[in-house]
Each structure stands twice: as structure tokens, then as C-alpha cells.
Amino acid sequence: MKDQLIARIKGRQARVGVVGLGYVGLPLVHEFSTQGFTVTGFDIDRRKVDMLNAGKSYIGHIPSEKIASHIQSGRFSATMDFDKLAETDCIIICVPTPLTAMKEPDLSYIEGTAKSIATRLRKGHLVVLESTTYPGTTREVVLPILTAHNDLEVGKDFFLAFSPEREDPANKKFSTGTIPKVVGGLTPNCTALADVLYSSIVQETVVVSSAEVAESTKLLENIYRSVNIALVNELKMLFTRMGIDVWEVIRAASTKPFGFHAFYPGPGLGGHCIPIDPFYLSWKAKEFDFATRFIELAGEVNTSVPYYVVERLTLALNERRKSVNGSKVLVLGVAYKPDVDDIRESPAMQIMELLMERGAEVSYNDPFIPELPMMRKYKIPKSSVELSAEALAEADCVLVVTDHSVYREKAQFIVDNASLVVDTRNATSAVKEHRERIVSA
């Protein structure tokens, strides 16, 4: 089984199935198709499936032209028919792993996908989980589901591995094919097959001893960032109270050629990884009677930042004899990071909701997000307004949440036309005139 599948992968004869066609799954589809594989994409969202089959992309950094070329070549098709999983040789799971309202892991998407695969699982299948989760999920959750109603043996009859996604949307330096891919299987055969599969589309694979190590690798990467961002956010709050510019402090510290890596404060954590992943490990740690105090403290600090932003905005309005209730607030940027169309876990959504709860009239501008989508947690039916002199002048406060390039380029224009700018990203650092209108948050 192993040797036959290796031969099919190396000969580009293996058919690849990607379950979940979002910001992780669709780039994988593109890479596999580009490298000559036939790929079937699976999703439960009919809108996505129909768009892809029509050659249209819904992710900004993957042009529609690329999707159309894959469709026209016959190497890619999207479907809602999970019976077609039986036609694939390699199945990659790229489904969401959100948190519950109590910040506990929600594995329902992984479990549902594993059940869909289990009824179509056959000898020779390779299944790889890419969804970020706690150590042990592949072995303790996915494996039992896959083998519940058959006699297939992992590592012999079929193969199961974990390879953490490392997507960074719109990163101009690194792409799916150039980012090293960590792979760890449940058995040596599983690891070897996953290595062969990913080696066919990426420049470098990093083989580790187990799926648990691979799962933990992703958590370490994002917990490292979460802790350091929490540190600099806490310093921002302290330095603001002390009358010290945190951005100037970071610039000065960054001149040290060793022992320091700059992290930057902001309005709160965004993206699917950093706001969520640390809580997966904290939850799992309780099984071992271990308190992850450092991780949980970082989570507390980062969770508090949107409230701090609203507090700073409130104080800035008060100094101008205005209340939040009834004030017009124009939010600039709702994507979770600059120059992307990705709104997952963006702090902008919580900040807008907090402001509306306090009676503010909130509007937003974002050149990458023309309309706010309905999300699991937030449902704010608004459309982006034009970034005009009139819109800026009408606002009692302009709040910079995401530092898109256009806002940095038009920073002087924004400040010239706004009576008050609360800047959470230092996007107005180059402004020369009317700096008295700018409040850092």
C-alpha cells in the first residue's frame, strides 16, 4: 500500500482531496494543481463551490485567473458531494477550529469531516489534518472516528498524519510553496507518505517524530507571538499613562543588533491563529493538572485591548465635550491585518460592537472589505463608505484599526479633514500638520 501510493504521488497520478476551501485549503488547491495533480475541493458552502467552478476566487491574494486556469485544465473541481472522497488517494482536512463561548476547543468541524471520510475510507488512503488544534487530536479524536466501523489498520492499510498550516495571506516574501512544511504521522509509514506528498509541492519539509510534535509546533509558533504581543500591548498601556511614546521606544530598542525582536501593539489580536490557538493548549493542559499561567495571562491582556481602545476613544471625545452616545465614529480598516481581505477574528468587529452598545453611530471604510459578512459571533450589516473629505469631516472621531497602505499614504489627508483621529496602529506617524488632532490608542 505504502509503496504503491508513493509511486502514484511521485508520478502525479494520485488524486488529492482538500476539505475546506478557505484561506488554508484554497492555497493548497492552487499549489497541488500547479504541480500537476488532479484536485477535488470539498466544501459545504454552495456559494464558494459555485464561484470556484465558475473560475472565480473569493480570496484576494489568489487571483481568479489562477482558479480559472485550474478549472479549464481539468485539474481542479469543487463539490459539495462528499461521496467523491472515495475517488481520492490523499485527503487533506482544512476546516475551522474555533472556540466556544467559554473559550474551549470546538472540534465539531474536524469531527464532522472525519465522519464523512470514515464512511468512504479505503485501503491506501492518506489522510492529513492541517487544522490547528491541541496535541493529541489526530490520534485521540480523528483516528477513532476513522476506524470505528472498519478493520483498517493505521500505518498499514491507511495512513494518518498532521501537518500544521502556516498560511500568511498576502505575504509578499513567502507563499505556500516556499514556507517549510512540518509533517508528523501516527506511524513511520504515515510520516513518510505525508513527507512525500508535501515534498511534491513545497521547497522544504521538516519531518518530526510524531503527530503530537507537529501539533505542538504550530501552537508554540503562535503562543510565542501571542505572549510577545501581550507584553508590548501592556507596555503600551503603561507608557501611555506615563506620557511615553511606545512606538518611539520600540524604534529605539530595535537598533540593538542582537537579543531583541520587535513586536508592535495594536487594537487586539486578529486572524484565525493567534487569538485562538493558545487556548487550545491551555484547555488540554488541564488534563495533566497543569496551569498555563503565562499563556492565560497573555490571553487576558490581549482580550482586554479592544476595551482599552474604546476607553481611549471615550476619553478623547470627553476632552472635546462629546459623549460616545450619539457621536459618529468612522472606523478605518476592519481586516485583521494590512492589505488583506481577511476579517477572521478581527478586533474591529468587537470594537464596533462595543461602540454601538454605547450608543455611537458607527460606519467603516475598508478597500478590501466592501461589506461586512455575517459571522458566527458578529452580525453587523454594514457596507464600506467612501474615504472622502466629507465622510472624515462628518465623523466626531476617526478610529484607525487596520493600517492598510492606503491609510498610511493618505494619513495627512485623513488628519487634515478629521477633527479627531484615534490611531491604534501608528499609521499617522508621518503626519506633519495638525498632530494635535491625533490620539494614540
Q: Which residues are catalytic?
A: 273
78 and 53 Cβ atoms separated by less than 8 Å: yes
Say how far apart CA 277 and CA 281 lie, in whole Å.
Answer: 7
Provide CB contacts within 8 A for 290, sequence distance 6+.
none
177 and 29 Cβ atoms separated by less than 8 Å: no
426 and 247 Cβ atoms separated by less than 8 Å: yes
Say how far apart CA 441 and CA 439 lie, in whole Å.
Answer: 6
20: left (phi over 0), alpha (psi -120 to 50) or beta: left
93 and 51 Cβ atoms separated by less than 8 Å: no
Extract long-range pairs of 216-220: CB within 8 Å, 24+ residues apart: 216/135, 216/281, 217/164, 217/182, 218/132, 218/164, 218/165, 218/166, 218/182, 218/273, 218/277, 219/132, 219/134, 219/135, 219/277, 219/278, 219/280, 219/281
The three grid cell numbers given for residue 146, joined into one nine-digit string: 476513522
114 and 142 Cβ atoms separated by less than 8 Å: yes
In the chain, the amino acid numbered 221 is: E
